[in-house]
Amino acid sequence: MEHISPASVQSPVAARASAFRGQQPGERVLVMMHPARALVLLPAWPLFVGCLALAGGWLEQQAGKLTGSGVTTGLAILAFATLVALAYWLVTAAYPWWCWRMIVTNQRVISQRGGIKLVVNEIPLAQVQSAKVELRSFGEWLLGYGRVTITAAGGDPLTLFGVAQPQRFANLVMQARAQHAPAATNTTTEIADPTIRAIIDRLAQVQPLPALPPLDPAASINWPLRHAMTIPLEGGEMVLGLISRHWWALVQRAGMPLTLIAASALLALAGAWLHIPLWLGALPVGIIGLLWSLLAYLNFVDDAFILTNRRILDVNRRFFFLYEATDAIEYANIQEVQMTVPGAWARIAKFGTVHITVGGTSDPLIMDCVPRPHLIEAAIEHYRVTMQQRAQAAAANQERLEMRDWFASVVDELIVLAPDLRGLPLEAAIERAYAAGLRLLVLPDAVVIPGMASGTVVSQSPFPDARALRGGDISVTLSGT
């Protein structure tokens, strides 16, 4: 199994402001950030070059190595060009970068661009379905930024460019979406009567949520030289399996480079048989084919699908680390799972394609050329149905808890336990009975008990800890003289 470690969700570098234009009442900012700093620093390279050249020329002039009026004129022209570069950078790069904010609140995901004319694109958290991360170049991988595409149910996706720490940002969006729906509060009323409390607790006993089994190992192949995947997982999320491509996908990708290697070998053998140094031409062809084959293999092993107990992650890498994209769909959003085996050879070699239709979007998730597609289809369909059952069971459990709270509140309002009033003087007995929700009724017949003060409770009905209706009477007999 590939090493996939859970990571805590950390917010990207946020802007200092905690409010923004258009913020709604009760809306709380989770993160507010500008694009990656590299997007504003890289266009400033002419300014940096001009400053370095100007500083170097001035130092050389002060040291006496550069003299004459031409030097002074050249430095003045260079200073003017540097100021022009500064103005151009401020207008075309710095100001747009500063006015571009990416905001995640407890209600929506927002992209704000422009200073005077504000352009706003947003998606409510309730409509967010997935967050896809893409790193399209070595520079993006090296500088730690990329693009995040957020898909919405029944609407156009929102693509954010130049996002610093894009995987953490995407994970933050999904975590905010999961926490968007307020959790049901459980205000359990404690019942004093242990018998009634036990009966109500048994009625409200929750049923266990069905578990998701791990993926069948026959549907997963652990290829060597795979680049380790570190995918941030949400709270309580665990990996069930990893699906690699079938070896036939490698054959298709490495067909041309393998042909070059075979051709170079045949060319070298033919030269040795004819006593002609053809290996001089075969060697570079073979090296190109070998490097091409290695690159094709690295792209092959890093193209995989990760199945967790909540979602399917599509990790797509190209050129080892020069391009990376991660897309995710949740089982709750899956509408249909279909499996196709394209031909007799695919049936013999046991590979095929799994099409997953996602609600709210026209783009299905296609798991092409995967081993044992029937096992994968069965597993995903089982996970989808199980997640529906889990949601239904969780809703039923919540209803039981709410019903238990309702019964408890009703019982607490209707039934109380009679306090022990024996041995108390009349005033104290009245206060204790009132505190328990009962009215004190004194019986007319008094009992003379030697050594007991007059007006002391001798007996009571109902007895201590017996059930009584709230607001009812508790009868007592007092001692007399």
Cα(71)–Cα(94) distance, integer angstroms? 32
Determine the pLDDT at residue 1: 34
- 88: pLDDT strictly greater than 80: yes
pLDDT digits (tens, 9 = 90+) for 18-53: 677 778 888 888 888 899 888 888 888 888 988 998
Q: How confident is the model at residue 259 (pLDDT cuts 50, 70, 90)?
A: confident
86 falls within a domain: yes
Determine the pLDDT at residue 11: 37
- 186: pLDDT strictly greater than 60: no
Q: How confident is the model at residue 15 (pLDDT cuts 50, 70, 90)?
A: very low
Q: Are 376 and 219 in contact (CB under 8 A)?
A: yes
Q: How confident is the model at residue 188 (pLDDT cuts 50, 70, 90)?
A: low
SS3 329: strand
Cα(152)–Cα(469) distance, integer angstroms? 55
Cα(208)–Cα(194) distance, integer angstroms? 25
Q: 227 with 156, same domain?
A: no
Q: How confident is the model at residue 481 (pLDDT cuts 50, 70, 90)?
A: low
Higher pLDDT, 14 or 423: 423
Q: How confident is the model at residue 190 (pLDDT cuts 50, 70, 90)?
A: low
324 falls within a domain: yes
Cα(10)–Cα(245) distance, integer angstroms? 32
| Of residues 416, 256, 380, 377, the one with CA closest to residue 308 | 380
Residue written as tokens 């290996």? 279
CATH number at residue 307: 2.30.29.30
Residue 326: CB atoms within 10 Å: 24
Q: Are 415 and 470 in contact (CB under 8 A)?
A: yes
Higher pLDDT, 213 or 142: 213
In the chain, what is the greatest distance between 2 CA atoms, to the nearest angstrom?
A: 139
Residue written as tokens 């039934």? 415
| Of residues 378, 376, 9, the one with CA closest to residue 165 | 9
> Which residues have a Cβ under 8 Å from the Cβ of 331 and sit 6 or more positions away?
310, 311, 312, 380, 383, 384, 386, 387
Determine the pLDDT at residue 376: 92
| Of residues 327, 328, 318, 326, the one with CA closest to residue 137 | 318
Cα(147)–Cα(140) distance, integer angstroms? 9
Which of the listed residues 326, 361, 394 is the one where a domain comes to its end?
394
- 226: pLDDT strictly greater than 80: no
Q: 442 with 308, same domain?
A: no
* Least confident range of 74-83, 129-138, 300-309, 378-387: 129-138
Determine the pLDDT at residue 227: 65
Q: 56 with 117, same domain?
A: yes
288 falls within a domain: no
Phi, psi at 369, each rounded to 5°: 55, 55
SS3 123: strand
Exposure of 72 in the CB half-sphere (CA atoms within 13 A): 5
Q: 343 with 444, same domain?
A: no
* CA angle 26–32–33, rounded 5-degree value: 170
**Beta strand spans in 176-303 (E):** 239-244
Of all residues in the chain, what percent carry a pLDDT higher than 70?
Answer: 86
Determine the pLDDT at residue 191: 65
**Beta strand spans in 23-143 (E):** 29-33, 101-105, 108-113, 119-124, 128-135
**What is the average pLDDT across 153-165?**
82
Q: 172 with 207, same domain?
A: no
130 falls within a domain: yes
pLDDT digits (tens, 9 = 90+) for 338-375: 999 988 999 999 999 999 988 766 678 889 899 999 99
Q: 333 with 431, same domain?
A: no
Buried b (16+ CB within 10 A) or exposed e, 222-231: eeeebeebeb
Q: Are 12 and 164 in contact (CB under 8 A)?
A: yes
Q: 148 with 212, same domain?
A: no
Determine the pLDDT at residue 9: 33
Q: 52 with 115, same domain?
A: yes
413 falls within a domain: no
Determine the pLDDT at residue 321: 55
Cα(245)–Cα(352) distance, integer angstroms? 10
> Which structural domain, as residue segments, surrounds residue 427?
418-478
Q: How confident is the model at residue 293 (pLDDT cuts 50, 70, 90)?
A: confident
Q: 53 with 135, same domain?
A: yes
Higher pLDDT, 95 or 143: 95
298 falls within a domain: no
pLDDT digits (tens, 9 = 90+) for 318-338: 665 556 667 778 888 888 899
* CA angle 313–385–357, rounded 5-degree value: 50
* Least confident range of 12-21, 114-123, 238-247: 12-21
CATH number at residue 440: 3.30.10.20
Determine the pLDDT at residue 126: 81
Residue written as tokens 């990708």? 253
Q: How confident is the model at residue 453 (pLDDT cuts 50, 70, 90)?
A: confident
Phi, psi at 433, each rounded to 5°: -65, -40
Q: 311 with 432, same domain?
A: no
Number of domains in the chain: 3
Q: Are 28 and 105 in contact (CB under 8 A)?
A: yes
Element of type H or E holding 366: strand 365-371
361 falls within a domain: yes
Determine the pLDDT at residue 235: 64
Q: How confident is the model at residue 8 (pLDDT cuts 50, 70, 90)?
A: very low
Determine the pLDDT at residue 5: 34
Cα(312)–Cα(243) distance, integer angstroms? 10
258 falls within a domain: no
Question: Residue 353 is encoded by which pair of tokens?
Answer: 């394609």
Query: Is the torsion defined by CA of 392, 398, 401, 403 positive or negative?
Result: negative
- 73: pLDDT strictly greater than 60: yes
Q: How confident is the model at residue 87 (pLDDT cuts 50, 70, 90)?
A: very high
* CA angle 77–78–83, rounded 5-degree value: 95
Give the chain's end-to-end CA distance (angstroms, integer): 89
Cα(16)–Cα(439) distance, integer angstroms? 62
**What is the average pLDDT across 55-77?**
78
Higher pLDDT, 132 or 339: 339
The pTM assigned to this predicted structure is: 0.57
Q: 170 with 211, same domain?
A: no
Beta bridge partners of 124: 108
- Name the H helices within 158-254: 166-178, 194-203, 247-253
Cα dist. 17→34, 80, 166, 441 in Å?
11, 35, 21, 67
Which of the listed residues 342, 361, 394 is the one where a domain comes to its end?
394
Q: 137 with 37, same domain?
A: yes
Instruction: Compute the mean pLDDT over every residue in the chain, rounded to the nearest whole number.
Output: 81
Which of the listed residues 146, 178, 210 is the one where a domain comes to its end?
178
**What is the average pLDDT across 66-74?**
74
**What is the average pLDDT across 147-174?**
83
Of all residues in the chain, what percent carry a pLDDT higher than 90?
Answer: 12
